[in-house]
Amino acid sequence: MESFLKSLQEKKIQLVVFDFDQTILKEHTGGSIDVSELKQVQEKISKDALTLLNVLPRYSIHVGIASFAQESVSVKRETHLAGKHMIQKILEPYVPHLQTIPIEAWHGKDKLKHLKNIRCHFPARIRKRHTLLIDDDPKNIETASSHGYLTCHVKSRQGFSFSN
């Protein structure tokens, strides 16, 4: 973790944006979960991603979450969690400052608008070159990189890890 943090500081990273499925989580939710599965899903949170979500603000590095998970009209609100609400419910026991983290959860062709909205959330707009996207989808990585963002591709299907 120390070398990762040092690298962020050397690159003057001010914002780290995490994808959710297969990055913060070690699985793919498909955008919604049954309420009864909440505890099992929480057990699949990447410990390294969770560490970064909690440690980065201490280094004056903002964090955000960009996901294609979205509220769905086909999801029954009484029995299922979806979109931003799902992400919040999964993470709230483990991330004390979760309410300060911008979460963009809606479907799009890529994550560029998610990234822009998250960058605009902060008072001093953070430049693309000072923003790191951590994502498992090569298309999102390629698109963000070609638009001036720094990227970290999570190649394992086991979520973000300092070892990959």
Q: Tens digit of pLDDT per residue, the chain (164 long)? A: 899 999 999 999 999 999 999 999 999 998 889 999 999 999 999 999 999 999 999 999 999 999 998 776 556 667 889 999 999 999 999 999 999 999 999 888 999 999 999 999 998 889 999 999 999 999 999 999 999 999 999 998 889 999 87
| Domain 2-153 part of CATH 3.40.50.1000 | yes
Which tokens is 137 given? 């989808």
Chain position carrying tokens 């297969």: 22
Strands (E), the chain: 15-18, 32-34, 62-67, 80-82, 103-105, 131-135, 150-153
Residue type, 8: L
pTM of the predicted structure, to 2 decimals: 0.94
Angle (deg, nearest 10), helices 112-120 and 138-146: 60
